[in-house]
Structure 1
């Protein structure tokens, strides 16, 4: 079966399940992106095939289907950035393919005792150093691509040493060397804390990038004409209004801060988390996770209001979020808590 057909068949087997964005992301990282790994470690997969695989993964993430349904909320390049840099941590498949082939360069540079190395050295390279090797026109397509990979990695070697050290080449290091790193985002630890429910983290990530489909964006795309906020009906719905200015949202945040005993503006949580040293590390984690949960619930309440469904009162939303965060904390915690933290947590229950 063709590689893209295998991936498509796997997605269709999941089609009947009501998966959240976070669930689809987990499947992409754990299943779809690894189906090609065996072939990627042997030869350079053609760009046409890689583009199809990326399109399938992108469509599945945003619509749950293998075929194109709608425009994605966030560019695929951003999604393929590490979480520390504001992405989703999905691997860039083309770069990962090149990183997997980088092991051949390391084998040749270190003259590893592999049958493939002996064959290439004896038949093709002979007395030529690997960094100066130019493949003949009549050699195989695979060897030409491996030789191109050697040229690509040549800058990373000094006197045949990978990154000027005696350490062994790893695919992870090769991938990091090939991709261009970006500045780390301030909210990375808040967004991807293991104390968060995964679907909370995904929506919070989209909020930080301002890429949720609020009414102002939908109208710009040609869908709808009424800009009025679903939750308050008092102003036009935009990202800033929905999460920072809407009376429903501000009530949620105010009540959450009252329960937690903290004070900060909703859009300055990341700076507070970095500088709020008056709180213990555990308390900062719980406070941040509660804020992520409330952010998710604001978006969820907005969608329920759009469908004319019942929307919980802000006080009930906050209580439920705190309950969920504490339940996840007790399920994961194995350390002894300080008396101060115990009393603080008991005050939240």
Structure 2
């Protein structure tokens, strides 16, 4: 590993420990936010400005297609296979700000009807109709602005709903609890983990690792449902 091209990033680490890590590793101390594979990485919620590269890349991609005379069907294929995938790549890792999501939908809509990133007329078909499933008469475009939980479809998606008020996630949490032979509460789960008192440190680490793995699985399943129109069952 090239120490001159590597940096170490820390958050919430005591100064003495941070200095020791830098001394032992030989790496330079990096500053947040930074970009990895084009995606901004930060310890706090990313801003609309941090996502400017995503919007700029989508606009640049559309301008590269500007000389092509494509039908609505051809542009629809590009929206679903290219533009939506650019958004999907970011959304699998980050919670994209609502303002950016609205801009992405605006860009996709404009390209579909006009062939460019700017279009001021009323669309021929409403966004809701476009985003409906093909079996329901829509075109199957992913609606990133819909705030409904994709796992249960019965409530607005919030952090508290995902972890763990959603029936899908609640069942997953119960399955983990049964496997660990513990009664894990659906509310204040993280506070429960923090206050957990066990004789063995390893037992606590196993429980926390299982819950962290569940968090990853929930986020992965949510993204699969939203971005690839698939349904996951526990």
TM-score, normalised by the number of residues in structure 2: 0.47
Q: Which of structures 1 and 2 has the bigger CA Rg?
A: 1
